């Protein structure tokens, strides 16, 4: 065994004490981003990273966000001192009302503990750490198809991560029966991760009736729901409608966790703004939970940043600015829906028009007619229209994605996830051409 003095001696002579650390690949989504940035092609198209962009593919900042920032900059009473561990109190109050509803009984009864976190990722991570320390069950079930970072949040906290059926690749839809069967077989008390709306990466959400059945089964099995709400307002275009799944669970008086993010619906990606909301049975329990959340946060990042949360607070508390934001969400959602339709139409329109001559009656010289045989892109692409939110799980495989990147400079996640928000009317035909080419090369989907 090598002595510590020997290691120290090596270090002094240029050998690192960390030389045995293995190099690991960069997380896939960031590797795709880096490759896109290095590509000099003017045709390059980034449909991998989950951000909302303009028609021209440029970063998008909401006007109402810029207005809020100007107000904050011009506020001479503002300071840059540390926030409390739990963040801006008004931000927490407004965030809880946004997802739970202003008339929520849980809020009125003080059964809600809310802490400002560093975006949705940190909200999930803080929630995972809290559960690992204070919840009796140490297993969390996540959808088989889910956000690639989800397993990391929970495994890093020491929870056991298992999966349940969610998506059916054959139908490009929800495997509802499989989902119910897996929920039924989970041990009592297990934690279940649910995406509130705009499921990433599939774009497939349960219907409201299916949510009723999911809630009933989860409550009957005494399972603990943990919601990830990253797309409120960007699925239906309505903030209230996109919160229905969460509110169903809260309305029955049971306990739930909700990780909330403002990255997508306010475009505050780099500001890292989110909240963790824990709905408890009683006000006394909520108070205890908040005290323990402080102990989780304190050694992790001590207290959250002020600027992004101040933007959110400014918008949510001002009726005029809130209404402008709400209208912006409707426009953004309408554009996403439009991109879905345009892409499917373009795929259907692809292919060659084949003129075929047919002799109706070979013995009669004037009976020869010509017909046009229209051939679109092979496969059924209607699921792209049925899906919701920012994403579509196209069904393209890693080899097809690699071909599109090499030949067309189109960058996507290797699982076939497509970010509709990265498309514009002018780039839809180009993407359709690439998909048509790669599918006809190797068969339809």
| pLDDT computed for residue 49 by the predictor | 87
The full DSSP string for 314-353 is: HHHH-HHHHHHHHHHHHHHHHHHHHHHHHHHHHHHH-S-E
The answer on pLDDT for 358 being more than 70 is: no
> Could you read off the pLDDT of 365-388 as tens digits, one per residue?
443 434 334 468 999 999 999 999
Residue with tokens 């020997």: 6
Reported residue count of the chain is: 445
- Asked if 178 and 172 count as a contact pair (C-beta separation under 8 A), the reply is no
Among the residue ranges 6-20, 114-128, 205-219, 328-342, the one predicted with the least confidence is 6-20
CB atoms within 10 A of CB 341: 12
| pLDDT computed for residue 29 by the predictor | 86
Q: From CA 261, how far away is CA 268, in angstroms rounded?
A: 9
pTM for this model (two decimals): 0.90
| pLDDT computed for residue 353 by the predictor | 45
| pLDDT computed for residue 366 by the predictor | 42
> Could you read off the pLDDT of 231-276 as tens digits, one per residue?
999 999 999 999 999 999 999 999 999 999 999 999 999 999 999 9
Residue with tokens 């001002």: 318
Q: What is the dihedral of CA 163, 166, 167, 173, to 10 degrees?
A: 180
419 is written with which tokens?
């970010």
The full DSSP string for 144-163 is: SS--TTHHHHHHHTT-EEEE
CA distances (Å), origin 218, targets 30, 135, 183, 187, 289: 35, 17, 7, 11, 22
The Cα angle at residue 25 between residues 24 and 30, in degrees rounded to 5:
135
| pLDDT computed for residue 308 by the predictor | 98
Confidence band, pLDDT 50/70/90 cuts, at residue 13: low
Among the residue ranges 3-7, 171-175, 219-223, the one predicted with the least confidence is 3-7
> Could you read off the pLDDT of 387-431 as tens digits, one per residue?
999 999 999 999 999 999 999 999 999 999 999 999 999 999 999
The answer on pLDDT for 362 being more than 60 is: no
Buried b (16+ CB within 10 A) or exposed e, 352-364: eeeeeeeeeeeee
User: Exposed, middle or buried: residue 63 (CB in 10 Å: 0-12, 13-18, 19+)?
Assistant: exposed
The answer on pLDDT for 277 being more than 70 is: yes
Task: Tell me which of 340 and 15 has the higher pLDDT.
Answer: 340
Query: 195 forms bridges with which residues in the sheet?
Result: 228
- Asked if 180 and 217 count as a contact pair (C-beta separation under 8 A), the reply is yes
Sketch out the chain's domains with CATH numbers: 28-60+331-349+378-441 (3.90.1150.10), 82-317 (3.40.640.10)
Residues 6+ away with beta carbon under 8 Å from 300: 125, 126, 129
> Could you read off the pLDDT of 317-348 as tens digits, one per residue?
999 999 999 999 999 999 999 999 999 999 99
- Asked if 293 and 276 count as a contact pair (C-beta separation under 8 A), the reply is yes
Q: What is the mean pLDDT of the chain?
A: 91
Among 124, 77, 434, 389, smallest CA distance to 275 is for 124
> Could you read off the pLDDT of 29-78 as tens digits, one per residue?
899 999 999 999 999 999 998 899 998 888 899 999 999 999 999 999 98
Pairing mode of beta strands 410-411, 45-46: parallel
| pLDDT computed for residue 363 by the predictor | 37
């Amino acid at each position: 065994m090598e002595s510590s003095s020997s290691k120290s001696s090596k270090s002094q002579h240029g050998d690192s004490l960390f030389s045995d650390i293995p190099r690991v690949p960069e997380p896939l989504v960031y590797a795709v981003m880096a490759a896109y940035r290095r590509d000099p092609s003017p045709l390059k198209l980034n449909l991998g990273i989950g951000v909302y962009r303009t028609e021209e593919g440029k970063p998008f900042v909401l006007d109402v966000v810029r207005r809020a920032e100007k107000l904050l900059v011009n506020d001479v009473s503002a300071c840059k001192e540390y926030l409390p561990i739990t963040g801006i109190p008004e931000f927490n109050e407004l965030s809880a009302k946004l997802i739970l509803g202003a008339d929520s009984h849980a809020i009125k009864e003080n059964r809600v503990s809310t802490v400002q976190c560093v975006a949705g990722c940190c909200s999930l991570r803080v929630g995972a750490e809290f559960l690992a320390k204070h919840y009796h069950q140490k297993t969390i079930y996540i959808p088989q198809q889910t956000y690639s970072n989800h397993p990391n949040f929970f495994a890093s906290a020491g929870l056991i991560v298992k999966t349940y059926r969610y998506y059916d690749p054959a139908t490009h839809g929800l495997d509802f029966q499989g989902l119910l069967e897996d929920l039924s077989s989970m041990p009592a008390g297990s934690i279940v991760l649910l995406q509130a709306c705009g499921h990433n990466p599939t774009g497939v959400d349960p219907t409201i009736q299916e949510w009723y059945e999911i809630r009933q089964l989860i409550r009957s099995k005494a399972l603990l729901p943990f919601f990830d709400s990253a797309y409120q307002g960007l699925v239906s275009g309505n903030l209230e409608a996109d919160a229905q799944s969460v509110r169903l669970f809260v309305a029955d008086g049971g306990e739930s966790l909700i990780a909330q993010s403002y990255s997508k619906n306010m475009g505050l990606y780099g500001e890292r703004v989110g909240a963790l909301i824990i709905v408890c049975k009683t006000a006394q329990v909520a108070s205890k939970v908040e005290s323990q959340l402080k102990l989780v946060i304190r050694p992790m990042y001590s207290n959250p940043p002020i600027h992004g949360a101040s933007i959110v607070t400014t918008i949510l508390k001002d009726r005029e600015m809130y209404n402008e934001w709400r209208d912006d969400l409707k426009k953004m959602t309408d554009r996403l829906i439009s991109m879905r339709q345009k892409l499917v139409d373009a795929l259907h329109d692809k292919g060659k028009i084949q003129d075929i001559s047919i002799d109706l009656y070979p013995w009669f010289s004037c009976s020869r007619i010509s017909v046009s045989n229209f051939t679109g892109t092979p496969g059924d692409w209607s699921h792209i229209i049925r899906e919701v939110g920012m994403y579509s799980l196209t069904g393209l495989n890693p080899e097809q994605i690699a071909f599109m990147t090499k030949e067309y400079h189109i960058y996507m996640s290797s699982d076939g996830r497509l970010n509709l928000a990265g498309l514009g009317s002018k780039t839809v035909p180009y993407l359709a051409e690439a998909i048509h080419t790669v599918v006809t090369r190797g068969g339809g989907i």
